[in-house]
């Protein structure tokens, strides 16, 4: 199971590739892709299908034996984006000695210093011309070798570096792409690399490339470490580990009376207010279409929402042995201690006593330990997609996740046992 997770993490450096890999797994297990521009048709018990939005979010459904109105649906939600750096248009900056660096902008809230002095690569999507100007073609790109690096300034020029240094997002975190060897490469180094990679898939001419969404990613493979290989080191554990746990549970689940839903959103790290984010009405539209396709009415959809339950799966903060003062004295989850229910009095999380009791009961039934997280009252916490989704679809639900260290670092740390626990409780949830 852990090897599958590591392989998924390595193959999913950005949201677009994560969705591609989820798509392939679903199709291999009998899920069919639905074109959202076409009529859904009749939906019957046992049907398995999925839809995507923007190539960067995906929603899978296994239809229950009973109509949505009678049983509602059981939904696991997660997000496939992670903090990183986006490549700007006209990105190449020529420097002395032929060195070329790339102009970037920050995506989400990364711990920027963790991206320094490590091999990085590029991944994302490239848009190319097609016969129809309104529907250009999307090609995915993943350079599977170390390609760039953001280099630190030597300590001799920055004696205060170990005392904490404020980093400029425009100046300090621009990656080096390489050194020009030929005058013809000037201004073309990035495009040459893009063309080289795309032409491994199909023939693409330079003039056919219209635009791209490209991001930096860690080029070092995910791995386990620790005295017993009990820990995981990887970029994007937040939140791809939850995406993959949800997928594993869905694929392992047999049809029940209740419809099973896996919703993987994009743009959680920037607020979710996009057409492919949790703030979009897209998922509610799909659920309503399913209710109608079962022969129900709009009323059936509203009944289904009232009977539904959502697990918002986004990783939690593990207790850090070097910074115990940052944690709540009685609610700090440990690595390897099981899934974590997250609470917040300001309603940044969807959990309340009722939904937490449901999830804790699922853990007990699955034979899985369960933990709780609340922020230290003097430390501001983050938020997630659970309450954003619940503001548009008024679902009962819980916010939870596995405990990890160094959240939003270029490489985060999790527990192998927690991943296995999480798949077990997710599978139990789908089978209820």
| 183-209: pLDDT as tens digits | 767 778 999 999 999 999 898 999 999
CATH of the domain at 293: 3.40.630.10
pLDDT at 71: 94
Residues 6+ apart with CB under 8 A from 106: 83, 85, 86, 112, 169, 173
Q: 190 and 337 share a domain? A: no
**Within a domain: residue 228?**
no
Phi first, then psi, for residue 372 (nearest 5°) are: -130, 145
Q: 272 and 413 share a domain? A: yes
pLDDT at 184: 65
| 318 has a pLDDT exceeding 90 | yes
Q: Report the alpha-carbon distance of residue 280 to residue 302 in Å, rounded.
A: 18
Q: Which helix (H) or strand (E) holds 70?
A: helix 68-71
Q: Which two tokens stand for residue 327?
A: 């944690």
Which of 375, 374, 343 is CA-nearest to residue 356?
343
Q: What is the Cβ-side half-sphere exposure of residue 428, based on CA atoms within 13 angstroms?
A: 17
Q: 362 and 423 share a domain? A: yes
CATH of the domain at 135: 2.30.250.10
Length of the chain counted residue by residue: 432
Helices first, then strands: H and E counts in the chain: 10, 20
Residue-averaged pLDDT of the chain? 95
Q: 167 and 272 share a domain? A: no
Specify the pTM: 0.96
Report CA-CA distances (Å) from 215 to 22, 123, 152, 409, 415.
Answer: 19, 6, 20, 15, 27
**pLDDT-based confidence at residue 296 (cuts at 50, 70, 90):** confident
Q: Pick the last residue of a domain from 170, 188, 218.
A: 218
**Within a domain: residue 239?**
yes
CB-based burial of residue 114 (10 Å sphere; 0-12 exposed, 13-18 middle, 19+ buried)? middle
Domain limits for position 372: 1-82+235-431
Q: 100 and 173 share a domain? A: yes
The average pLDDT across 163-173 equals: 93
**Within a domain: residue 230?**
no
Q: 209 and 248 share a domain? A: no
Give how many domains the chain has, as a whole number. 2
| 173 has a pLDDT exceeding 90 | yes
The average pLDDT across 89-113 equals: 96
Q: 196 and 90 share a domain? A: yes
Q: 194 and 241 share a domain? A: no
Q: 212 and 283 share a domain? A: no
Which of 220, 254, 284 is CA-nearest to residue 65?
254
Residues 6+ apart with CB under 8 A from 30: 48
The average pLDDT across 22-51 equals: 94
């Amino acid at each position: 199971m852990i090897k599958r997770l590591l392989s998924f993490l390595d193959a999913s450096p950005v949201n677009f590739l994560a969705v591609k890999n989820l798509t392939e797994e679903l199709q291999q297990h009998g899920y069919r892709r639905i074109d959202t521009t076409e009529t859904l048709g009749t939906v019957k018990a046992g049907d398995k299908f999925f839809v995507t939005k923007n190539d960067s979010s995906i929603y899978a459904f296994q239809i229950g034996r009973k109509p949505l109105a009678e049983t509602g649906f059981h939904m696991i939600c997660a997000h496939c984006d992670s903090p990183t750096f986006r490549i700007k248009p006209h990105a190449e900056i020529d420097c002395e000695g032929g060195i070329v660096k790339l102009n970037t902008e920050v995506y989400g809230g990364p711990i920027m210093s963790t991206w320094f002095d490590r091999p990085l690569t590029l991944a994302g999507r490239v848009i190319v011309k097609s016969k129809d100007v309104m529907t250009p073609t999307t090609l995915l790109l993943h350079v599977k070798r170390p390609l760039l690096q953001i280099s630190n300034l030597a300590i001799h020029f920055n004696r205060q570096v170990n005392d904490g240094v404020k980093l400029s997002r425009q100046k300090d975190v621009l990656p080096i792409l390489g050194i020009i060897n030929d005058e013809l490469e000037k201004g073309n180094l990035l495009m040459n690399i893009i063309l080289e990679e795309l032409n491994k898939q199909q023939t693409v001419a330079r003039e056919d490339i219209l635009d791209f969404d490209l991001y930096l990613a860690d080029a070092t493979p995910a791995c386990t470490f620790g005295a017993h290989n009990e820990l995981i080191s990887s970029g994007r554990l937040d939140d791809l580990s939850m995406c993959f746990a949800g997928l594993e549970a869905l694929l392992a689940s047999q049809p029940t009376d209740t419809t099973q839903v896996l919703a993987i959103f994009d743009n959680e790290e920037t607020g979710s207010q996009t057409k492919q984010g949790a703030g979009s009405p897209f998922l509610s539209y799909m659920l309503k279409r399913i209710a109608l396709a079962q022969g129900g009415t709009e009323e059936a959809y509203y009944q289904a929402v009232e009977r539904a339950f959502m697990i918002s799966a986004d990783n939690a903060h593990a207790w850090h042995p070097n910074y115990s003062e940052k944690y709540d004295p009685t609610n700090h989850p440990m690595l390897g201690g099981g899934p974590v229910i997250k609470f917040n009095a300001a309603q940044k999380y969807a959990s309340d006593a009722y939904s937490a009791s449901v999830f804790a009961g699922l853990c007990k039934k699955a034979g899985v330990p369960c933990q709780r997280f609340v922020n230290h009252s003097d430390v501001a916490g983050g938020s997630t997609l659970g309450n954003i989704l619940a503001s548009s679809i008024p679902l009962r639900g819980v916010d939870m996740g596995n405990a990890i260290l160094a959240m939003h670092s270029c490489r985060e740390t999790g527990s192998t046992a927690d991943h296995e626990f999480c798949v077990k409780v997710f599978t139990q949830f789908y089978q209820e």
